[in-house]
Amino acid sequence: MKQLKNISMYIFLTTASFISIFPFFWMVVSATNTSLAVTGGRLLPGTNLMENLRSLLEMTELLTAFANSAQIAIVTTLSALFIASLAGYGFEVFQSKTKDFVFNILLASMMIPFAALMIPLFRMFANLSNQVPFLGINTHVAVILPTVTTAFLIFFFRQSTKMFPKDILEAGRMDGLSELGIFIKIYLPTMKTTYAAAAIITFMSSWNSYLWPLVVIQSPEKQTLPLLISNLGSSYAPDFGVIMLAIVLATLPVALIFFILQKQFVAGMIGSVK
């Protein structure tokens, strides 16, 4: 009886793992095959990888999209970490009743669905387009600005700051450091793991974001990877090998981060609830 239970448990876990991994396997294998082989159901690696890459580079602005996505994700991550950690630190170290009230109002913004912000934001940037073109529609600044500050990340930093030994701050004040100096010279270096976890979640959500770039980006040379994949996927005569390769390339950076920094990756995801 016990053995039967054990076996069924392993069968269940193996099935779940198989279902989780199979799409990855199929996507990688298909990236090396011709479109015909993919639809024929081939499950073995082929020799068409370079040919697929050549077509992908020919058909799309892959490198540009890759560079755009990377640029947007990096700028978003750096500014998001700066703004959110300053705020999380400020709310926790300089706690007051009024600030806690403001903090709760900020938290309420987590309930706002992006679909409700999309139209006013679009109009806001469309109006800016006429006055300050580098800030308007179809710019990367417009992609970045509305997504840089999230209440979630501020909350995340505030929670982590609760663990921070406050005596060190007082020691810094005694040494004559300014408040900003304490933040930069003492807080920042000690909170490296928190920053790493926050960087991973922010980078990932920026790298993957679709709806807002879809609304705000209009020309091909400004488009991001998710937009490129979505366009490829909705073409009338899709080349399956080429599309799979594009999906593999878009997934690769986040997958690499996951395998190299698994601990921080998971910490970032669940950090908010601790």
Which residues neighbour 143 within 8 Å (Cβ) at sequence distance 6 or greater?
72, 212, 213, 216, 217, 224
Q: Does 101 bind other proteins (CB under 8 A)?
A: no
Number of residues that bind other proteins (CB under 8 A): 86
CB atoms within 10 A of CB 222: 20
Secondary structure of residue 274 in the 3-state scheme: coil
Instruction: Enumerate residues 161-200 that contact other proteins by CB under 8 A.
Output: 166, 169-170, 173, 179, 183
Part in contact with other proteins (CB under 8 A); list of ranges 53-61, 95-103, 132-140, 190-198: 95-103
Q: Does 16 bind other proteins (CB under 8 A)?
A: yes
**Dist CA 77 CA 206 (whole Å):** 8
**Dist CA 80 CA 149 (whole Å):** 6
Cα–Cα distances (Å) from 224 to 204, 233, 259, 260, in that order, read 13, 14, 24, 24
Q: Does 146 bind other proteins (CB under 8 A)?
A: yes
Shortest distance (Å) from residue 149 CB to other proteins: 4
| CB nearer other proteins, residue 34 or residue 89 | 89
| CB nearer other proteins, residue 120 or residue 189 | 120
Shortest distance (Å) from residue 176 CB to other proteins: 15
Shortest distance (Å) from residue 121 CB to other proteins: 5
Instruction: Enumerate residues 38-57 that contact other proteins by CB under 8 A.
Output: 38-41, 43
Nearest to 79 by CA among 203, 167, 219: 203
Q: Does 208 bind other proteins (CB under 8 A)?
A: yes
Residue ranges in 113-224 assigned as alpha helix (H): 114-131, 140-148, 151-161, 166-174, 179-182, 188-190, 192-208, 211-216
Shortest distance (Å) from residue 14 CB to other proteins: 8
Q: Does 229 bind other proteins (CB under 8 A)?
A: yes
